[in-house]
Amino acid sequence: MTVTTPAIVLTAVKYSEADLIVSCYTKEAGLKSYLLRNLLKSKRGKLKPSYFQPLTQLNIDAVHRDKGTLERIREAQVAYPYQSLHTDVIKSSVTLFLAEVLKSSIKEEEANEALFQFLQESLLRLDVSSKSTHFPILFLLKLTAYLGFYPDFSEAQLPYFNMLEGSFQMQEFGHAIKTREAVQCILAYNDLSWEDVGNVRVSKTQRKEALSWLLEYYQLHVENFKQPKSLEVLQTVFS
């Protein structure tokens, strides 16, 4: 079946001398993987290697057999030429980090228009933003709402936070329990809008703690979630 859909590139891995295996999150079919033959050698084809940088937004014509095998992209065009996402050192580090998180977090081969729109709009905001320091934290926190495990901070006055249940509680019982003090680093980002993110007053130490807290939270709620290899680079550029 031929499908025309917007798509966001998550990863591109070299396969043999000239092929790429590309993972994309598509608006029409969710997560899909494609085998692009001879892409790295061909200079006259309709597809260019530069199209498949992490988090590039494309419009693609693809053949989906839906048999659990690698699919095929017939044509692709860049939907939004980024201004700075792949050229600014800090933003490119954020981009690699987010791409890894998304590849570990999104599993479904089915459409989720709300999630796709969130990703699309968030990446455009990052591209034009002059401040990206807090972006990874707010993005990961907002993403949990679309993945189904946004933490419930409505009773933040209680002394303990249950990481598995995603909520505060009065007593220290259960597994993966945090004190309220250990969760304080993330509370500053709760209900924060993109417009207000530049006004957050959080120290570098608290920011690092918030990111670590979120990654631990993801590991508990996403099966086989992998710690991003780019985390160290991200922390270095923000230090």
Mark whether 49 and 29 lie in a shared domain: yes
Over residues 20-33, the mean pLDDT reads 96
Over residues 157-177, the mean pLDDT reads 93
DSSP label at 1?
-
Q: Please report which confidence band the pLDDT of residue 193 belongs to, taking 50, 70 and 90 as the band edges.
A: confident
Q: Give the residue from 81, 101, 133 where a domain finishes.
A: 81
* Whether the predicted pLDDT of 152 surpasses 90: yes
Residue scoring higher pLDDT (202 or 45) = 202
Mark whether 73 and 190 lie in a shared domain: no
Q: List the single range of 53-62, 108-117, 140-149, 169-178 with lowest mean pLDDT.
A: 169-178
97 and 231 Cβ atoms separated by less than 8 Å:
yes
Q: Give the residue from 81, 113, 135 where a domain finishes.
A: 81
Q: Residue 27 is part of a domain; what is its CATH number?
A: 2.40.50.140
Mark whether 95 and 166 lie in a shared domain: yes
The DSSP result for the chain, as a single string, is: -EEEEEEEEEEEEEETTTEEEEEEEETTTEEEEEEETTTTT-SSSS--GGGGSTT-EEEEEEE---SSS-BEEEEEEESS--SSTTTSHHHHHHHHHHHHHHHHH----S--HHHHHHHHHHHHHHHH-S--TTHHHHHHHHHHHHHT---B-TTTTSSEEETTTTEEESS--SSSEEEHHHHHHHHTTTT--GGGGGG----HHHHHHHHHHHHHHHHHHSTT----TTHHHHHHHT-
Q: Residue 111 is part of a domain; what is its CATH number?
A: 1.20.1440
Q: Give the residue from 48, 81, 114 where a domain finishes.
A: 81
pLDDT score for 55: 98
Residue scoring higher pLDDT (109 or 118) = 118
Mark whether 214 and 188 lie in a shared domain: yes
- pLDDT 10s digits, 52-88: 999 999 999 999 998 878 999 999 999 999 999 999 9
Mark whether 87 and 25 lie in a shared domain: no
pLDDT score for 119: 98
- Which residue spans within the chain are E strands per DSSP? 2-15, 19-26, 30-36, 57-63, 72-78, 160-162, 167-169, 177-179
pLDDT score for 191: 82
> The whole model's pTM is what?
0.94
Q: List the single range of 45-54, 96-105, 141-150, 192-201 with lowest mean pLDDT.
A: 192-201
pLDDT score for 126: 94
pLDDT score for 153: 94
Angle value at C-alpha 116, between 94 and 109, nearest 5 degrees: 105
pLDDT score for 196: 81
Number of domains in the chain: 2
Mark whether 229 and 172 lie in a shared domain: yes
Mark whether 123 and 52 lie in a shared domain: no
pLDDT-above-70 percentage for the chain: 99
pLDDT score for 237: 84
- What domain range includes position 11? 1-81
Looking at every residue in the chain, the average pLDDT score rounds to: 92
Mark whether 194 and 230 lie in a shared domain: yes
Distance CA 88, CA 109 (A): 32
73 and 62 Cβ atoms separated by less than 8 Å:
yes
- pLDDT 10s digits, 217-235: 999 999 999 999 999 999 8
DSSP label at 50?
G
Mark whether 40 and 94 lie in a shared domain: no
Mark whether 64 and 91 lie in a shared domain: no
Mark whether 34 and 101 lie in a shared domain: no
Q: In the numeric block, which tokens belong to residue 231?
A: 């985390």
- pLDDT 10s digits, 127-138: 998 888 899 999
Mark whether 96 and 58 lie in a shared domain: no
pLDDT score for 66: 84
